[in-house]
Structure 1
Amino acid sequence: MPSVDFETATKQEEARLQKLHPTSEDIPGCLTLFDTFLSCNVLGVQLKSLYRFGHMSTCGEKLEDFKFCMSLKSMHPDDKRDAWIRRRAEWWAARRLEKSSENVWDIRTEPLKNWPRSADEMDINGSDAFS
């Protein structure tokens, strides 16, 4: 079970993305997003997805990113950046909170207690005194 809720994860991702994209020029343009959508449909990408995951790559999210970008064309660049960051933060937050094959460990919120172990907790042979 995730240790944070969706809104907290979204705020964390927004803060990270604001540092990663400090100005409106740092977010991708609509042409770049359209190119990303087109490259998703290339035969090589589709075959790799079929081989790795057993299904064709779905490119709908990339098309939605392009359409979202086009809907922001009339906005002020700073407002456009904020809207784009919010959308990407929600995507990353949802990805963080759903189950994935990449979920191996839970993120620690505090350091381990009694780590590293002191020398007297180890015996002469180098094995743990706890084993």
Structure 2
Amino acid sequence: MSSLDFETAVKQEEAYLRKLHPTPDDVPGCVKMFDDFLLCNVVASQVKSLYRYGQMAECTYKLEDFKHCMSSKSMHPQEKYDAWIRRRAEWWARRRISKSSEDVWEVRAEPIQNYPPVRPNLDGSRTLE
């Protein structure tokens, strides 16, 4: 388990998503979300998931995304944008906090000090490794 708490992870993800998708026009539409759901269920996606993970692809979340999109159609564009950012941020935060076979490292808050290390050359000058 990550040492990061859920709300902190959500705030970090929201900040990142707001930079990645700066305006309400950048939010994918309901047709795109429905297409993503359908593409998740095609034979090629299912076979790839079976090969990689040993199980069929789970497409429920993509269907929930589509339903959420349809239910937010009557919202003001800024409200819809904020709701979509929050929903995606929570999804990414859950992925970051829970264990995954794809976990390799945690995101650093600050760069490593004195990296890369400096190594002396034979002539006395110094080179980054």
Instruction: Assess same fold via TM > 0.5.
Output: yes
Compute the displacement of 1:23 (Å): 1.1
Q: Which residue of 1 aligns with 2:102?
A: 102
Structure with the higher strand share, 1 or 2? 2
After TM superposition, the score normalised by the length of structure 2 is 0.85
Compute the displacement of 1:80 (Å): 0.3
Unaligned runs of 5+ in 1: 125-131
Q: Give the secondary-structure state (helix, strand or coil) at the position aligned to 1:91.
A: helix
Give the alignment of 1:1-131 within 5 angstroms: 1-119=1-119
Greater Cα shift, 69-78 or 100-109: 100-109
What is the identity percentage for the equivalent residue pairs of Structure 1 and Structure 2? Answer: 64
Quickly say closer, same or farther: Cα 1:46–1:115, change in 2 above 3 A: closer
Structure of larger gyration radius: 1
Whole-Å separation in 1 of the counterparts to 2:51 and 2:37: 20
Quickly say closer, same or farther: Cα 1:75–1:52, change in 2 above 3 A: same
Whole-Å separation in 2 of the counterparts to 1:115 and 1:20: 28
After TM superposition, the score normalised by the length of structure 1 is 0.84
State the superposition RMSD in angstroms. Answer: 1.7
